Structure 1
Amino acid sequence: MATPFVSGAIALLVTRFPDESMATILNRLYSSTDTLESLARRCRVGGRLNISRALELEMPKPLNDDFSNATLVQNSPLVVSGFNSTATLEASEGPHDPEGTGRSVWWSWTADTDGFAELSSTGSDFNTMVAVYQGETLDALQLVAKDRDVSPGHNGALLGFNAEAGQIYRIAVDGLLGATGNISLSLGQTVVNDDFANALEIEGINVKTSSENIAATRESGEPDHVANTFGSKSVWWSWKAPLSGNVTISTSASNSFDTLLAVYTGGRLDELQLIASNDDDDRTGVWTSALTLYAQEGETYKIAVDGWNGGFGEIGLTVAMAESDDLEDARNVVSDTFEDVSFTNQATKESGEPNHGGSASGQSLWWRWKATRSGHAEIATFGSDFDTVLAVYDGQSIGGLNVLVENDDSGGALSSRVAFDVEVGEVYYIAVDGNDFRADRSYGLARLTISVEEDPSWLTPVIADPGTFEAIAGDTIEFTIAATRNPTLFAANGLPAGLSLDESTGVVSGTPLQSGRFEVLIEATNEAGIGLYLHVLDIEPRPGAPIASPLPIEKKAVEGTRMELSIQVEDETDISYQWFKDGSALLGFDSSSLLIESMNSVAEGSYSVEVANSNGTILVGSTRVRMIREALVNISTRGYVGLDAEVMIAGFIITGSQPRQVLIRGLGKSMESPESNIEAVLADPKLTLRDWKGQLIVSQDNWLEEPNWATVESVGLSVGAVPPVDSGESAILTTLDPGLYTVALSGADGGTGLGLIEVFDASSESIETRLANISTRVRASIGQEVAIAGFVITGQDPKRVLIRALGPDLLKRNVSGVLPDPRMILYQGQDVIATNDDWEDQNGFLITEASRQVNTSILDEGSKDAAMVCELQPGLYTVIVNDVADDSGIALVEVHELP
């Protein structure tokens, strides 16, 4: 009843004193308290509210008016409030300042650590004086530090002093020149991560950490973290990306001040490279900060949080990767109570994924939850900062999901909640997405909570969570399984070797021989039946046992490619290895690395490795191994075909180790139709295919004159290509070794016009060898002469690609007459899914890193070339390239697949 009582009291006071600020209303309420010893230090006011006193016209005296009644505070950081409008100066209390108002209030702070402390009254609504003393009585105080502020535009004194752990400091706040009002007092001590060199190291794919910057400083040589802003109280973190992918970093839990956020790479303050920065969250417009960037596995990122214009307070920092974007990548949870925070900002909708809750934005995250007890479960997204939808499924694949419960808005709120019965050991898939009603409220910070309560009507035993305790391999341990309702028999499945269970008492004891994480299914039986609980038991390695690097959370490889898992051990003396897949030992895999020569579906699974020496055994892993069922195949480019340098040139790469059959077509009149309205086509196309050295492989003019024309037609139909309608078109069907190739399209008779180059992957074998990294050089203009490139992504998985439309960059390759300012638009069907004009407008660092990954040219800073990195679902895509100012020139359109 406390919350509605306080809310009602505040409403009554607002009605009684409509001209008073909320701070004054709260201070009036707090100061009307009847103090009670039984409530001392147990609630905000240490007593019971006296509403009758609060309603009196004259403001009650502050509870901390006298030195002996100073408000006790400890630890830091802290932000407290108060008022001095009815305070007094005690008889033995001398003035704290010659211009003091004589209305002082007191706090008593016990320092919890040694170090510099900073105290500020910024946020008060009048000119203040703050003094810090040491001493046990009012007449024996020794001044430690003092500051005053008489500036009419800024209310806030600021002072600092060196505090000693355990020392009590007396803090007095008074007004100046007769001023009184509401007080805001902030206190903090120097934090360890104040300087860049002492950045706090954080790790993981989903990290929540905290700090404060009340007493933080700005180092010499430290950059401005956000352009055109001023900050002077920065703190630092260091985060090493555990895998590659999009990561969102946010200070949304820092709700007390206006934050600045920046992310860098570099090992020293004077060599930092800014990756991304943000002042106010672009989506919500709030004072906290949020940004998203593409993180490279193994790269260390330095994160700085500062306060705008010297702002300070408590900082809540969240670093979250959308690694649970797809069902197969769902984040694993084994618990009956759980809380998690992540971001859906860069999440996507995978092929075949349902609309959760009936209406979804297609930016979903997944959790794979194994219930540790049977009962009634409640799952909710309360605390998320966007309009969520929530759904729970069973099933094993995206196409085999069965919805159990789903919800959009719960109780009229934008958060979601579902409740249903669960069974111990069963796996449930939970999806959180956004409602698509408003685009700016369809994604953001997702907070997921899970709780399970057993049905009170059940008569079977209820097993308590054994909890966490220190357990080391090789040491004797013992714990007891506690259960209600008089169990007579216990059982446990999944205990590590060396541990056993006393079936009659529920005591687990022994000496575990192996370290690692073990899921133990506990049973307790009485006359009514069996109660179950799934316990996660962590066994730490014993001293001297092997110390090994962790396996990655996940490892992916394209079908047919090589993939290696490996670990590093600090001391390899007398070391042995044994690899496991899905819990079963792999015979012959007994080294520090495991090599899969050709990735296939059989190789998918959960891998771990047992590492042993004479001192003990550790289990490293597990890691999820997945086969990527995708490939970038089939490129087509339509554009103007001219003479000499204006012929159309397509380039493509065949990867792998085996030859591949390729169908290449050059079309002109086949593009004409009443529906297309295409005019002035190339009358007699001619194709010329060359290798990377420029050596001629084959040249072809009229396709029907070739002896294999029927095969060309048949293969074309098999890859979805309609036969050319004119005998003058060109087609080449050939088998090529892995390597780089170019094919030029020109007019056989010296003619010009619109032409189309198509390159098809025509092999029926697996994609161990395949087309990749396809490009076309073409003259781009306006109208029907814009450059149009099409490509296909096959398979079942999304594919990351780098797409570039180059103009100015071609000048470095001695190409003249280039397109001055390329702009490209990416379509899937009729829908625009991405656009770009200048490549640096969209995360230039990500574009540069992607270019390095595929070993292509790095674009110059400030160039007008266009580029984008996208993760695309399987399907057909089209890129249209023209000039921003409708100019004409030579452009190079590239599509690179990324790892």
Structure 2
Amino acid sequence: MQTLELTVGNLSCLGSRVSRVLVIATRLALFLSVGVASGQSLQDFFTNRVTATTYSGDITINNAAATFELNEPKHGGKTGGRSLWISWIAPVDGVVIFDTSGSTFDTLLSAYYFQTPSDTTLDKLKELVRNDDTPINPTPGALKTSLISFGAQAGKRYEIAVDGYKGEAGIVRLRWSFAIAPATPPIVLSTPNSQALKLGDPVTLSVALTPEPNVSLQWRFNGESIGQTGNTLIYTSLQASNLGTYTLRVEVEAGNVQVRYETSPFELQVNSEGQTNALAQDKLLDSPDSPLLGDSGGSSLQVGGLVIRTLTAGGGGGVQNLGVVRGYNGSQIFNTFYATADPSEPAHCGVVGGSSYWLIYQPPSNGTLTLNTVGSTYDTVIETYTYNGALTSYQDLISLACNNDGFGSNGPSRVQIPVVKSRQYIISVDGVNAAYGTAWVNYNLNTNALPQPPTLTSTPQPRTVAAGSTVILTAPVTGSVPLAFVWRKDNVPMLGQTAAALTLLNVTNTHSGNYSFTVTNDLGSVSSTFALKVVVPPRCRLTRISNTTQLSYPTLEGQIYTVEESTNLLSGWTAWPGSFLGNGLTNYFNVSSLGTKFYRVRVE
């Protein structure tokens, strides 16, 4: 048998964990190409799209001026914002690959079709296949481009859209290649969505395709065949070993010729509380789309760690609106086989990682959240974050706590943080040195240990320091994280000063003033003030004039001077009665010439 396997350019689409590749299509044994036709282009507006009919193509364009239209679908299943379109008509029955390798930004890619010739608008599009990131040779810092493949029927029109992930822009390179099939390939009508279930649940995964002869179907799990055929895969009892990424491989065969392609991938995870939409994600900015949401059960009362749900009598004396309590205690379980790490991603807990997943958690009530990765099959590191406002990049992350090997060397990790119901928290689980496997994130919310507002641990004391000193003013505050600090000098905000400690270098008398701080968290705020005075020690002189000894020292306006004397340089200093307010002039005093005395001037 001769297998027609397809590539684009130098892409290597192998189904092995060594190259960490999700099979979209397979390698080329017989590559059919009829060159690149001229006049091909990508268009911003769907109605302006051009039509290509060639076996292959290669288009390069900048999408910086591209837009996103009303009723336009989410390409690659993700939020974009700068989409470009092209129509492609299959010259004959076959399999086609479209890919964006060579683009300069993170791309999204989808193929669509219309069910009837009368359908022409964006809201009538039916998605055929999608892709965000193709994990082909995912070296650190590699750009995340996209790849799709599908069975194409002769003369049928397909609408291809390429977009920038979260509105990214730059140079788009879209290529396609085509292999002739020995028979008509089926159209993939629908695939399962990624979802979370409970351990032990029965699971049925089904892909809908148009009926065509000469077709065989094989299920694949994390890029490898699992020996299951047909368009439906059934697990009678879901186990942790079943979690990961699935595709259905479609093989079209006639005579001694065969071509292959695969459906869009979908992922199975576990949420022990049955939150089907709660999913950990490979990308930070995807995590807000699938949060783990706590629920106190609707009409309920929190008493310490006990949840008391209110029973509402129905018309027949029954009970209504009991609600569902969740988010207090459970596990999120997922497989990190295809996990990667972005070059700009922080090193969680300062540990070299490379296979991170992100999960957003919103608590059902205030309390202390304990997280651990007990049960994971690899060496994990965990860090918790939060953010203010919109989550747009790694720079928005506020680190709260992290841990590596909390239960021993190369073992699970554990963190504990105070949480409030009104805030979302981000849990990142990474593999030490890019380790991967099945990750368990076990969560427990203790409502007996409530988060605390910021409070002063002591009263800030006035400070007097010498010019040229380094001064560190640390806010004496305790309270639950995240704590936000604002510093002011004489009621004027100090730009960029948002840390718990304010450092002043090489101070002069111009640094004198009142330094106030305000510390805020989700539960309240507290303010106080340091009074700082910077003084310039005077250069004192003793001068012998005839039978008199004279003490003199220059003064600065605003500084208070006190003369002290002693017969012992090391102790027994006595202050002269009365202090002197500096006026910018030099003070002169006659002192006793009898015996031995030492003099000094204290400045305030």
| Bucket of the pairwise TM-score, normalised by the shorter protein | under 0.3
Task: Name whichever structure is richer in helix by fraction.
Answer: 1
TM-score normalised by length of structure 2: 0.27
Q: Which has the higher contact order (CA 8 A, sep 6+)?
A: 2
TM-score normalised by length of structure 1: 0.20
